[in-house]
Structure 1
Amino acid sequence: MANYTAAPEDDYDVFIEDDLSNNEIEPCTPYDPKILSAQLVPYLYTMVFIAGLLDNIVVVLILVKYKGLKQVENIYFLNLAVSNLCFLLILPFWAYTASREGVLGDPLCKILVALYSIGLYSEAFFTVLLTGQRYQEFFRVRRLFSACRVVAGSILTSALAWVTAILLTLPELAFYKPQMESQKYKCFFTKPHFLPVDETFWKHFLALKMNILGFLLPLFVFVFCYVRMRKTLKFRERNYDLFKLVFTIMAVFLLMWGPYNIALFLSAFNEHFSLHGCESSYNLNRGVQITQIIAVTHCCINPLLYVFLNKPFRKHLCQLCHLLNGTVPQPTEETAQGTSREEYRLST
C-alpha cells in the first residue's frame, strides 16, 4: 500500500546475479522518491491548494446564494465541493513534509490519513450519486414522492455517503502511525499487534478496498449508465449541458485516479505478477509516486469544468464577480428569459 502522507519510501534489498560462475553480485539501487518530492511537490501542491481552495469556495457560494439547494444535483454538487475541500486541507502539510523530508507527529499523521481517505471515498460516492441521478432523469424514472421528499432523500443519501466514507477510513487509522527515521517522524504502514494474519495480507486488503470502492465502482456506474444512454442514439436536448457536465466530471475523475489505482494494485501484488525484480520495483515505486501526484491535482479540476461546461454557472459567476466589485449588472430581456427557462427546467 502506498504511503498516504508521502511517496513510497520502502527500501528494497534486491540483488541481480550477472555471472553465476564468478559469483559477482550487482547491488540494486532502490528508487528514491525524495528527489522528485523535494523538487516538485512543495511548489505544485502549494499552487493546487491555493487554486483549489479559491475555486471550490466559489462553487459553494454560487450553489448556496444563487442556485439554491432545492434540486438534487445541487446538493450533490455542494457535497462534492466539500469533499474536494477536505482533500485540499492535506496539501500544505504534504508540501511542508516533502521539503523537510517528513516531520509528522502522531495526531497529525492520523488526521492527514483520515482526510485523504474521506476526501477520496466521498468524492467517488458523490460522482456515483450524480451519475445515477442524471441516469434517472434521462430515462424519466417515475418518482413516487413529492419534490420535497426527493430533496430530503438526497440529503439523507449524502449523509449516508459521508458516514460510509468515514467508516471506510477506520482501517487506515489503525494501520498508519508515525515512526522515527533519520531523527525525523514519518507516517508509515504498521500492523497493530492485536490483528491476526501477517502484514502483507492487510496491505493487499487496503489496496483492494481503494481499488474497488474508489475506482472500480465509479467505473462500473459510468460505463453502465453511459452505454444505456447511448443506446437511445442521442441525448435528449433537455438539460443536455447538465448531462455533459456530470459525465465529464466522472470521466475526468476516472482518468486522473485510474493510473494511480492501477499502479497501486500492481505494487501491492507485485509478487503475483512477477514484478518483484530490481528494475520492476524501481519502475513501480516511481509510477506510484508520479501517478499519485497527478491524481492529487484533481481536487481543483471540477470547478473549472463547471465554468467551461455549464452556462448557468458562468452566469452566476459573473453575478458574483459584479457583487464583489460592488456593481450590479443590468439583466437584458434575453438573459431574464433564459434564467426563467433554466429555473423551470431545474424545477421540473
Structure 2
Amino acid sequence: MESANHSTCVINDKMVPFATFYIIIFLIGITTSLVALWAFITSKSAKKCINVYLINLLLSDFLLMMALPVKIANDLGNVSQSLMVFHCQVSGPLIYINLYASIIFLSFISVQRYLQITQSSKLLRLQEVSFAVLMSAVVWFLILFINVPNMAIPMNNITVKQGVTCSDLKTEMGKHWHALSVFLGMAIFFNASAAVLLSNGLVLKQLWGRRETDPEDQASARHAFRNIALVTLAYVICFVPYHAVRMPYTFTQVTELITDCDLKKSLFLAKESTLLLAILHLCFDPLLYFIICRAFRDRVTKAFLKRPSIPDDADTQIPE
C-alpha cells in the first residue's frame, strides 16, 4: 500500500534548491560560530549569567552544524540506504534538538535582559551564574528526553527509493512518539515565545521612555531600542512560520485525514521552506552574541577591526 502511494504521490522531489541554501547557511554558520567559539574561549572577562545561556546557544548551533551536511546530502538525492536511515534517525532529531534548545535559550536571554534593566533585588537569584548553569542542565535534559527516543526507536526495514520519506521509515511506535515530540515542541515554542515577546516588549517600552525623558541617554537608548527590535523581528521571522505549518504537516505523517496528493505536497514544501527559515537562525546567532555580550564584542572588534570598541554602560544599565 505504501509503495503504491509513493509511486503516485511523491512529495519530496524538489529538494535540490533547499540543499543549495543549506550549503550557504552551513558555510556562513560554521565560519561565524568558530569565530564566536574563539571569542568566548579567549575572553578573560568575568562570567555572567547571560553568557552561560549564550554559550549553550552556541553549543546547540554546533549540534546543528553536525547534522546539516547529512541533510544536505539527503536533499540532493541518490543517497544510500544507510545514509537515509542515519539522517532520519540521527541528524534529523539533532536538527530539532538545536531548534528547541535555541528557542528556550533565546527566551532565557530575553528574560535576563529584562531583569538587567529592572535591577530588582528580589530577582537577583535568577541572575546568578549557578542558577543559569542549573537551568541550562534542565533544558538539555528536557530536550534530550523529548528527542532521543526518536533516535532510539528502530526504523522499518524497507528499501529506500525515490519518494520515500523519514515518516515511511518509522514504525507505528516511532510515528506516535514523533507526533508527541512535535506536540511538546509546540508547547515549548508557545511558552518561550510568550517570554521573548513579553520581555522584549517591556524592555522596548522602558527604552522608549528613557529616550523621551533623558536627553543624555537618547543615543544609547535609540541604539539599544533598535537592537532589541531587530532581535525580536529575527526571532519571529525564523520560528513563527515553521510552527504555523508544523502541526498540519504532522497530520499527514501520522493520520489518513489528509489524502489529497497536491495538499500533501504543498504542506511538505511549506514545512521545508519554513524549516529553512528556522535553521537560518544559525547565521543570526553570532550577531546576537555581538549585540548582547560585551566581552564577545570587545574581543571581535579588537581582533578584526584593529581598534577598541566604544565603551558604554549598555551591559549594566541599558540592554542593547
Smaller-chain TM-score bracket: 0.7 to 0.9
Instruction: Indicate the SS of the match to 2:280.
Output: helix
Q: How far apart are 1:91 and its partner, in Å?
A: 1.0
What pairs up with 1:308-319 in 2 under 5 angstroms?
Answer: 313-319=296-302
**Could you report, residue by residue, the CA deviation over 1:294-320 in whole angstroms, capped at 9, with x for unpaired residues?**
322221222135557888755432322
CA distance in 1, matches of 2:47, 2:294: 19
CA distance in 2, matches of 1:119, 1:341: 32
Could you say which structure has the higher strand fraction? Answer: 1
Match of 1:223 among 182, 187, 197: 197
CA distance in 2, matches of 1:255, 1:330: 33
Q: How far apart are 1:235 and its partner, in Å?
A: 5.6
* Residues 1:344 and 1:32: Cα distance change in structure 2 (over 3 Å): closer
- Superposed CA RMSD in Å reads 4.0
**Could you report, residue by residue, the CA deviation over 1:125-151 in whole angstroms, capped at 9, with x for unpaired residues?**
10111111112222222157689x811
**Could you report, residue by residue, the CA deviation over 1:28-53 in whole angstroms, capped at 9, with x for unpaired residues?**
9635422x22x323332222212101
Match of 2:131 in 1: 153
Residue 261 in 1 paired to residue 235 in 2?
no
What pairs up with 1:37-186 in 2 under 5 angstroms?
Answer: 37=15, 39-66=16-43, 68=45, 70-103=47-80, 105=82, 109-143=88-122, 150-175=128-153, 177=155, 179-182=157-160
**Could you report, residue by residue, the CA deviation over 1:211-258 in whole angstroms, capped at 9, with x for unpaired residues?**
221x21222112332444455572657885667646643542332122
In the alignment, is the contact (CA less than 8 A) between 1:211 and 1:261 conserved in 2? Answer: yes
State the AA in 2 paired with 1:259: P
Q: How far apart are 1:90 and its partner, in Å?
A: 0.9
CA distance in 2, matches of 1:31, 1:73: 46
Unaligned runs of 5+ in 1: 1-9, 15-27, 323-328
TM-score (norm 1): 0.71
Q: How much identity, in percent, do the aligned residues show?
A: 18
TM-score (norm 2): 0.76
Q: How far apart are 1:83 and its partner, in Å?
A: 1.0
Match of 1:297 in 2: 280
CA distance in 1, matches of 2:39, 2:19: 30
CA distance in 2, matches of 1:94, 1:227: 36
Could you say which structure has the higher helix fraction? Answer: 2
Residue 320 in 1 paired to residue 320 in 2?
no
Q: How far apart are 1:171 and its partner, in Å?
A: 3.3
